[in-house]
Structures are given as structure tokens and as C-alpha cells.
Structure 1
Amino acid sequence: MDKKDTLNALAALGQETRLDVFRLLVRAGPEGIPAGEIATRLDTVQNTMSAHLKVLAHAGLIRPERDGRIVRYVADMTGLRDLLAYLMEDCCNGAPELCRPVINAVTCDC
């Protein structure tokens, strides 16, 4: 991930509804959630939600998966990992023990 991609991802997450969508999809895990259900759960109009999903997908934070006629969205954990890696690339100026709490916080047993 480069600086431009990082700014794109941060801008995508810098909007309340998109942040809510991303967190919802992270909680949902690899099975994801159909687009219509995301809109319903977040009480958002479907065409507005479609625009938010497109921004997040373009930023590499979520990805659509076709399931017959239904499009499910899944959090792209590789995109999230790349974003975090870029942000922490020069972490701690040679003192990795300072980064351990952050690494522990983003590491899950999923």
C-alpha cells in the first residue's frame, strides 16, 4: 500500500456510515452480509448504501461476492492489514516493544 492508497482508505473510513458498514462487515466475518441487509441494519436507503459500498470497495476495504442473484459484501482483511502495515511501517523507532500493545489489540483468535 502506498500513500495514495492509504489516504483513499482513510477517507473512505472518515465518513460515519461507511465506518459503520466496515465495522459491521468485520463483525460478520467471512460469510459477509447481503447489500440490502446492510442497508436495512444501518437504516440507510439502498441507493445511498450502494454508493457507500462502492467507495469502500474502491478503497480496498471490502469486496463484493456474488451468491446467485445476491451480492454479499465481506470485509477485505488483506486491505485492512495493508493499511495497518503502512501506518505502522516505521513504528517505534527501533523499540518494537512499544508497538506490542497495538499489535495485540488488532490480533484476534478468529
Structure 2
Amino acid sequence: GLLAAFLSVAIGTLIGITAGHFRGWYATVAMRITDWFLVMPTLVLAIALATVLSRSIWTTILAIGVTTWPTTARLVRAQTLSVESRPYIERSRALGGGHGHIMSRHV
């Protein structure tokens, strides 16, 4: 359960931070994929994934982690948009902070 939750949080955080930071076409595509995963029944998708892959505990972890990340991604994206509107992010950009620096240090 812990590994599945870690995988879900890792995928959701990665998608959410990048979609909140890089706006435009990337955010649109990432959020549409997230919306698609939100409307798909989680149990059906997890069973389909478990059917295609070999039977093991790692398949179960992967199936749960891959199907439960969209809510985390939406939450992280909203928080990223909130944080990026603060003045210290603008100061960091003005001082030459790149995308990686801003996403890893400030957001």
C-alpha cells in the first residue's frame, strides 16, 4: 500500500507541478489526460492493467499507483498556480532562476 501511494503521489506531483509551471499547450494536454483518468472507473482500469501484465505484487502496486494519481495532480497544480503568483517567484525569475530552480526550490 505504501509503495502504491508513493507512486501515485510521485506521478501526481510531477504532472501537477509541470502543468502549473508550464502553462499553455502542455498544461492543456496534461490536464485533459488527467481529466480522462478522473472519469475512467478506477477499479475497471486497475483490473485491465492487472490483466495485461503478469501476476505479481508489483503489478498490483503499479495498477493502484497508475490509476489513483489524478486527484493529486489537480491539487498540486492548483497549489503551484497559487504559489507562482507570489512576489518571490517573480524576484527569482528576475535574478535569473531557471525553470528547474523555481520548481524545485520555491514551488
User: Which bracket does the TM-score occupy, shorter chain normalised?
Assistant: 0.3 to 0.5
Higher relative contact order (CA 8 A, sep 6+): 2
Give the number of the structure whose alpha-carbon radius of gyration is greater: 2
- Which has the larger share of helix? 2
Q: So what's the TM-score if we normalise by structure 2? A: 0.32
Q: So what's the TM-score if we normalise by structure 1? A: 0.32
- Which has the larger share of strand? 1
